[in-house]
Chains A and B, each alone.
Chain A
Amino acid sequence: MGDLGLIINLNLLRATLRMSTPIALAAMGLVITEQAAITNIGIEGIMLIGAFVAVAVSYFTGSWVLGILASVAAGVVVALFMAVIHLKFKADVFVAGIAINLFAIEFTRFLLRNIFNTAGSFYDPNIVPIPSITIPIIDKIPVLGTLLSGFKLTDYLGIILVFVTYFILYKTVWGLRIRFVGIHPLSAETGGVHVNIKKYQAMILSGIFGGLAGAHLSLGYTRQFIENMTNGRGLIGVAAMYFGGVTPINTWFASLFFGFTEALGNNLQTFGLPSQFMLMIPYIATVVAITIGMIRKQKREKNNLL
């Protein structure tokens, strides 16, 4: 069982948290828009553009803070752009999302080529990454130190934002209204809530989350930009959002679980074992979870008639 010990260890748990951060950040943005009845699969493209902008700004200004801020701003712009396509021009939300994702891939590829004159990826020592945080005292405790200390700032921020999202959705007037916009827009409208404005606001928030997730990917999780580096993480965020029942806390657990399958998959790969079945778990789990949800819904509708 020696191999098993090598595969499953403290570092795996550490990796789990690291892997889960971009997923969780994206998923929080998705939870908010989904609560407002917008399935924002364009989050993938928002993240990718955010990742690029973060690297570019960090490289040129030497500031990771500006990198993150620029990434968030870019995320908001792209999210608003998608919101206009969907809400104003009535494009199907999935079509709009897919369009944004394809646009992001092509656009960042073009910028990479034009600004940095390179294809594939861009790395430079001048890119200033997001710093790691060492938590004093805990850092020195053997197991706890490994588990809790020394992560990137955005890893911690991601966890905090889970609870912030929960707070926004369930403790504020805005959150209550957003939830009504998603579940019963007509009752929101008659209650004096402007449904479309709320939806735009939700999209702005998801742009912020997507931008953060992108910045974390390129300045925290790594320190470079790679073409299509999101590689489906935004969509795993969609999966986590559905799997977590569109609530922040459960979605975070789903993100951790999916982060775990990814981390374990990577470990397996290092030992030449097939990782693919591990890596496909999030997607299968999501299909199963959505299906069960729909079956339940059908049953409930039937029972309501009895």
Chain B
Amino acid sequence: MNDKLRDFLYERQSLLNVFIAVFTAMIVGTLVIYFMGYDILESYEALYQGAFKGRFNFGGTLERFVPLLLSGLAFAVASKASIFNIGVEGQLYFGAITAAFFGYIIKGVPSLVHIPVTLLLAAAAGGLWAVIPGFLRAKYNVNEVTTTIMLNYVAIFFVGYIVNHPFKNPNVGVPQTPNVQPTARLPKIMLPSRANIGIFIALALLVFFIWLLNKTTFGYKVRAVGFNPFFTDYVGVKSKLIMVLTMFLSGAIGGVLGGVEVLGIHGYVLDNFSPGYGFDGIMVGLLARNNLKALPFVAFFLAALRSGAINMERFTGVPKEVIGVIEAVIILLAAAEVIVEIKKRKSSDKGGVEVG
């Protein structure tokens, strides 16, 4: 390989890896469909139509796009500071229950006030919940992966208690909260699908965080802390504080995600309502290599797959679980990072070699 090509590929190696992961997974999926005896072209056509054709189908894709994007964003933002936030699931539960509460309790205000206030409170709830593992990591170096996993369960049980007991809708048999006020509901944008303005909120957040991380001193500090906390301590940045704040922001995005799901899709919180949105974010983040600008593409791709799978099953009989397998293969490949390794050209100086 000549040097220029190698440099070019080295710089884009993450993109290349994503492409290869997706491509390999699609091949696996195709083989599965083939060996199960279905027509491949027909299946993919049904998948495509299910994802994009008509307001209902395309709306379904958009509806799935929002939680994928937001949880991916939450995960990626924490990753910028080298924090592994596996706790988005718990954070979104706190955001959801907060949104359900204030969406219900605040009355007589216009949507223009009700929605932002409710979502901000949801963000705060998710953020504060994330501060616990963030603080433990910054102050005592407690591994945040373990704590966020554990705290997810605490959050889910806590919300389960709220939904089952103090804030249960007495008119319904199943454990769920009362419906939020109509003023708190996010307007739908593509009836008859459930797609709503949550998509604009999600995209706005994405743009905001891209701006925050790249154009502000705070974003600079977050990235520098993520790369090298010794360096940031030395130049006078309070690295630990930056870590906790980043975790707050990441959790806040999780909180907004919970809020958007409640105000946009359901209108209430059901016990155990999340099908693992928070964990989807890990996959989105990993696939996008935590590159914020790549997040919407990855999220949209996965959303289309999931949305199209239902149609594919209905019209061709290919079980929608095939998509699950494709996703599983993608995440395994994404996890194993070294799908292809373009070696960097030997640099002239490695520095730091201990000679003694």
Contact = CB atoms under 8 A, between A and B. Distances in A.
Direct contact of A and B (CB under 8 A): yes
Interface of A: 39, 41, 85, 89-92, 94-96, 98-100, 102-103, 105-107, 109-110, 112-114, 232, 235, 238-239, 242, 274, 276-277, 279-280, 283-284, 286-287, 290-291, 294-295, 298
B140 A106 contact: no
B75 to A, nearest CB: 11
Contact of A113 (B146, B321, B337): B321
A60 B146 CA distance: 38
A244 to B, nearest CB: 14
Contact of A102 (B146, B157, B322, B328): B328
Contacts of A274: 161, 164-165
A122 to B, nearest CB: 14
B282 A98 contact: yes
Contact of B161 (A100, A110, A239, A277): A277
A286 B146 contact: yes
B147 A277 contact: no
Contacts of A291: 136, 140, 142, 147
A102 B283 contact: yes
Given A276-B161, A276-B164, 6 more contacts: A107-B324, A113-B319, A274-B165, A276-B158, A290-B143, A290-B147
| Contact count band on B | 35 or more
Contact of A99 (B142, B335, B338): B335
Contact of B324 (A106, A279, A280, A290): A106
B141 interface: yes
Contact of A103 (B143, B286, B332): B332
A99 B331 contact: yes
Interface of B is mostly: helix
Contacts of B212: none
Nearest to A285: B150
Contacts of B279: 98, 102
A85 B329 CA distance: 12
B325 interface: yes
B235 to A, nearest CB: 24
Q: For the complex of A and B, list the 4 residue pairs with the smallest distance between their C-beta atoms, beginning with the closest.
A: A106-B324, A276-B161, A99-B335, A103-B328
Contacts of B86: 94, 98
A26 to B, nearest CB: 14
A14 to B, nearest CB: 24
A163 to B, nearest CB: 27
Interface in B59-110: 84, 86
B141 A106 contact: no
Contacts of B327: 102, 106
Nearest to B133: A287
Interface string B323-347: 0110111011011111000000000
Interface of A is mostly: helix
A280 B325 contact: no
B304 interface: no
B283 A287 contact: no
B20 interface: no
Contacts of B328: 102-103, 106-107
Nearest to A101: B279
A40 to B, nearest CB: 12
B153 interface: yes
A89 B145 CA distance: 20
9 contacts: A96-B336, A98-B331, A103-B331, A274-B161, A276-B160, A276-B164, A280-B157, A291-B136, A294-B136
A294 B140 CA distance: 6
Interface string B270-311: 000000000100110010000000000000000000000000
Contacts of B153: 232, 235, 279-280, 283
B326 to A, nearest CB: 9
B157 to A, nearest CB: 4
Contact of B149 (A41, A107, A110): A41
Given A91-B335, A274-B164, A290-B146, A110 B158 contact: no
B151 interface: yes
A112 B322 CA distance: 12
Given A94-B86, A98-B279, A242-B146, A110 B322 contact: yes
B266 to A, nearest CB: 20
B154 A280 contact: yes
A239 B152 CA distance: 13
Contact of B335 (A96, A105, A110): A96
A283 B164 contact: no
Contacts of B355: none
A173 to B, nearest CB: 31
Given A89-B338, A96-B335, A287 B150 contact: yes
Contact of A287 (B36, B151, B165, B338): B151
Contacts of A290: 142-143, 146-147
B331 A283 contact: no
B161 A295 contact: no
A1 B332 CA distance: 53
Contact of B319 (A103, A110, A239): A110
Interface in B114-172: 136, 140-143, 145-147, 149-151, 153-154, 157-158, 160-161, 164-165
A49 to B, nearest CB: 11
B331 A277 contact: no
A240 to B, nearest CB: 12
A109 B140 contact: no
A99 B157 CA distance: 24
A177 to B, nearest CB: 25
B13 to A, nearest CB: 15
A277 B157 contact: yes
Nearest to B140: A294
